[in-house]
Chain A
Amino acid sequence: MAELNTGDGGGGKGGKVRSKKQNSKVDLTAMVDLAFLLITFFMLTTSLSKPQSMDLSLPDKDDKNPEQKDTKVDENRTMTVMLGGDNKIVYYMGLLATPKVGPKDIAYGKDGIRRELLKQKKNVLAYSAAKGKPDQGIIVIIKPTKKSNYRNLVDMLDEMAISGVDTYAIVPEFSPEETKLIDKKAE
């Protein structure tokens, strides 16, 4: 029975199996590559998965004495921005009956509302400085219509943050003239 084992030497080479001296080092490059790739992945996903948020503070709603919430402001400082459907914006400065600028159609983004906001902000600051009250900045009144969506509102609030307007209010109340204006423009 022992002859069966000796047969695989391939002839008369004596059957000596020489084991090669193996290198004790293993190449770890690929393993390290993979490990770092995974580290990068986990690092990025853990820090990015936390949702971002935007703070929003609204004024007190007091239903009992509504006459108290009307604060009088200089109409030269107010800019009213109406958000319509289909990503339309209509803005004007001052009162609608006697607007200083506008009412005009404008688009969202860098070349649209932001440029205008920065320009008007500068104007108002100059105006306030001339009056001797340089700390009074622009007041933006955001009026989202029923057709506007949430993205429009967040975009607008974002513009406030980008252009550094601190005083703004969200007022979803429309006079008939304003409704006419935004409906006509939205066509």
Chain B
Amino acid sequence: MAKIKMKKKSTSTDMTAMCDVAFLLLTFFILTATAKVPEALPVDTPASTVQTKLPDTDLAIITVGKGKVFFDIKGREIRKRTLEGIGAKYGIEFSEDDKTKFALMDDFGVPVTGLKQIIDMKAADRTKANQPGIPLDSLDNQLKEWLLISRRATIDLDDKELQIAIKGDAKEEYPQIKKIMDILQDQKINSFNLVTGTRGKDF
């Protein structure tokens, strides 16, 4: 009788390849992830079941919360062009340095006269700056100008219509939202996006 000798198998597997792949993927995801910067005006968006993603470029976001209105444009070149346009409109000179800084910053909510101060601040200070919001009453409707000029800039640069999204706080009262919608409709923007959170299908 020949004895069958079982080979003793090693219990540990070679994980080198797996480790390689895992770290490769990890590096990829870390590099592609965009760092989230704190918003100047934090809002709690209402939830909805509709899930359409917002576009990444050619987008303007109007943030409404606590009675204030903030404005944000995506896309650096468009931001630069918009700032030039606003400067020309209100007779404020912005240096090349200001434009570069403005292109890199996020949403803001100051009248045009205070814009330079905000641009000069550090990113961390901007969120603490207690910005008063963009004026939009009938006497001094700066939001309208921002919209007009940024739309023109988008058409000039990308030959596309700027998409508008409204990001409203859930507790914001309807008249304030209505005011924004009216401003948009006055410019014949009849189709826009409402930024919402996600919610399950059977809530």
Structural contact, B195 and A51, CB atoms closer than 8 A: yes
Interface: B148 (CB within 8 A): no
Structural contact, B181 and A148, CB atoms closer than 8 A: no
Contact of A146 among B49, B165, B175 (CB under 8 A): B175
In whole Å, how far is A32's beta carbon from the nearest beta carbon of chain B?
5
A23 to B87, CA, bound (A): 70
Structural contact, A153 and B177, CB atoms closer than 8 A: yes
A28 to B15, CA, bound (A): 6
Tell me the dominant secondary structure on chain B's binding face.
mixed
Interface: A19 (CB within 8 A): no
Contact of B19 among A32, A60, A144, A153 (CB under 8 A): A32
Produce 1/0 per residue, B54-68, CB < 8 A to A.
100000000010000
Given the known A-B contacts A58-B181, A150-B170, are A155 and B190 also in contact in the complex, defined by CB atoms under 8 Å?
no
Given the known A-B contacts A39-B26, A57-B191, are A32 and B18 also in contact in the complex, defined by CB atoms under 8 Å?
yes
What chain B residues lie within 8 Å of A12 (beta carbons)? none
Structural contact, B192 and A56, CB atoms closer than 8 A: yes
Closest residue of A by beta carbon distance from B199: A158
Closest residue of A by beta carbon distance from B171: A149
What chain B residues lie within 8 Å of A56 (beta carbons)? 191-194
Closest residue of A by beta carbon distance from B184: A58
A68 to B64, CA, bound (A): 32
Residue of B188, B194, B197 with most partner-chain A CB within 10 A: B194
Produce 1/0 per residue, B156-170, CB < 8 A to A.
000000000101111
A43 to B203, CA, bound (A): 26
Q: Identify the B interface with A (CB < 8 A).
A: 12, 14-16, 18-19, 22-23, 25-26, 29-30, 32-34, 36, 45-54, 64, 165, 167-175, 177-178, 181-182, 185-186, 188, 190-199, 202-203
Given contacts A35-B23, A46-B33, 10 further A-B contacts (CB under 8 A): A35-B19, A42-B30, A52-B48, A59-B190, A147-B173, A148-B173, A150-B173, A154-B168, A154-B170, A155-B46
| A–B Cβ pairs within 8 angstroms, 18 of them | A28-B18, A35-B19, A35-B26, A42-B26, A42-B33, A50-B54, A51-B196, A52-B51, A52-B52, A53-B50, A54-B194, A58-B181, A60-B188, A83-B174, A110-B202, A151-B46, A153-B174, A154-B48
